[in-house]
Amino acid sequence: MNRFTLVATGTLLSLAACQSSDNNKNQLTRQQAQTYLDSYNKTYQDLIYKDNLAQWTLNTRIVKGDTLSQQLADAADKVLAEYTGSKANIDSAQKYLQLKDQLTPLQLRQFEVILFNAGNNPATAGDIVTRRISATNKQLSALYGFKFTLDGKPVTTGHIDEILESSDNLQERRKAWTASKEVGKTLKDGLDSLQYLRNASVTPLGYKDYFDYNAREYGMGEDEVIKLTRQFVTEIWPLYRELHTWARYTLAERYKQPVPDYIPADWLPNRWGQDWSSLVDVKGLSIDSVLKVHGAEWMAHQSEEFYKSLGFDPLPPVFWEKSSLYPVPADSPFTKNNHASAWHMDLANDVRSLESITPTTDYWSTVLHEFGHIYYYMSYSRPEIPVILRSGANRGFHEAFGTMMGLASLQKPFLENLNLIPKNTTTNDTLKLLKEALSYVVSLPWSSGVMTEFEYNLYAKKLPKDQYNQAWWKLVKQFQGIVPPVERGEEYCDAATKTHINDDPAQYYDYSIASVLVFQFHKHIADSILHQDPHATNYWGNKAVGDFLKKVMSPGASIDWRQQLKDDLHTDMSAKPMVAYFSVLMDYLKKVNAGKKYTLPEQPVFE
């Protein structure tokens, strides 16, 4: 063996020894990291379960004057916050993230989530976190414990909604709409306090403000989120402009009034103007009468049957035993949160839904929506997915799958399959598209525009309390083309009448992201799996649809959502599939609106 061979052999042995040493070091780091992660996940799961149990009671049994539920919720929130925001967990997460090259991808994602969780509750914020928790629960109690009145008599929000959806009496409508906004007066000071406390909770770990903090969960900065949501508004604006013009003339005729340049808020069938779909009645597709015969319980159990038909498992017994699915009686000594929601109590098997199911066409899709969340929970609640990664690929994914099921549940072949409408029912398909657009398209300027821009101003730009209502109505006019029916001074806080401003803050763009994803995923299912017209699909009983949904849902947050979109849909996020879905309607509206006055600009205005 010559000298060169000896040198080369020595070099190779040296490299091998280095690689072996590096591998051993990496293996040891991964083992130590995993020991820490196992402990964190176990403790986190225990604490989140206790917290959710306290919140469940706070939301399902609200008794005026009773502060015990709020105190228990405060205490559970505080314990969870102290753990997730502890200096020990922050230090550990930061230490391991500096060693990210030695971690597995799954470990790395967990440490990123741990540090994000800490960002909202850092111990370095002192008593700010405790004060924020208490202020949030106090705000929630004030919102859901509020007693609405109409003509001096107690009234439910459901009755207010019924008036706005069906009454042609403008005086009655104005009274109902005005009554729905009274709760805002009681929430304004609390929102001002929460603005400060939420911002102060997240800045110690380097976030700009509370809006920026929530954006980071998407792997985006606040400016990127605003750019994305404005992109959605821009993409959908020409169609929204046509719908706005159609609605102005239609409503003026309905109420026998001159055509307004902007729509008075009390003319619309929704308290916030976020859904106009009840302006259109599609003959043959209303299933109210059939559902009233079947009843609310049938609706709930039929929703389970739908998911089972796709190949999903039955709901666990705890769902039926512990959920709060039906309205609280009018003479009940307590009230509850009437906003439909799905709960993953222990991030494992305890799944529940909080609803007030009533036998209406709208609630039919709501039930399918909420059950969609439940089955998403169940899909990623498996040993391969760590507890802290048991959530949607991003927050919008959850809403997307629930909303997509709501869309599918109202398409004609689906309804015919369940005998909810007669076979071969003749319908006006253009009118059906119009009804869908008055829900899905109309929601985008509201969610991407009004709600997102208001909370961006509230947290990022520190909007002063004495400008809340002025700023709110400026955005409503700018993005929705809606104006208040009466003077709304700064004694009001009309933004805070929307529950999310109080108890699900700075995340409302999740709904617009979800709406966009709905049409992206629905197009894929219709085109590539069902081979059906996207406007007339029937998901029921198709195991291939179920397999696709399981494939997309089962990873939870263990993989990057952008990569998941590219892998499963071969595209980025865009509202263009929604625009394409309504292309026939766009042509129709242009003909109907020909010669009429347009009052919204040709392109949206961003300030």
Ramachandran class of 313: left when φ > 0, alpha when ψ lies in -120 to 50, beta otherwise? beta
Residue 522 annotated among the catalytic residues of the structure: no
Residue from 168, 352, 361 nearest 269 by CA: 168
Q: Is 582 exposed, middle or buried (0-12, 13-18, 19+ CB in 10 A)?
A: buried
Query: Helix, strand, coil % (nearest 5) of the chain?
Result: 65, 5, 30
Phi, psi of 507 (to 5 degrees): -135, 10
Number of alpha carbons in the 13 Å side-chain half-sphere of residue 42: 6
Does the annotation flag 305 for ligand binding? no
Give the 3-state secondary structure of residue 482.
strand
Residues 408, 537 contacting (CB under 8 angstroms): yes
Catalytic residue among 217, 370, 436, 455: 370
**373 annotated as ligand-binding:** yes
Count the neighbouring beta carbons within 10 Å of the beta carbon of residue 462.
11
Catalytic residue among 159, 294, 339, 500: 500
Q: How far apart are CA 132 and CA 194, in angstroms?
A: 7
Unique residue bearing structure tokens 């989530």 = 113
- Does the annotation place 524 within a ligand binding site? no
Rounded CA separation 395/384 (Å): 20
- Catalytic residue status for 455: no
Across the chain, which distance is largest between two alpha carbons, in Å? Answer: 105
369 is in an annotated binding site: yes
Of 202, 574, 556, nearest to 395 (Cα)?
Answer: 556
Question: What's the angle, vertex CA 211, arms to CA 105 and CA 403, rounded to 5?
Answer: 75
Binding-site sequence positions: 218, 369, 373, 399
Known catalytic residues?
Answer: 370, 500
Binding residues for chloride are: 218
Binding residues for Zn(2+): 369, 373, 399
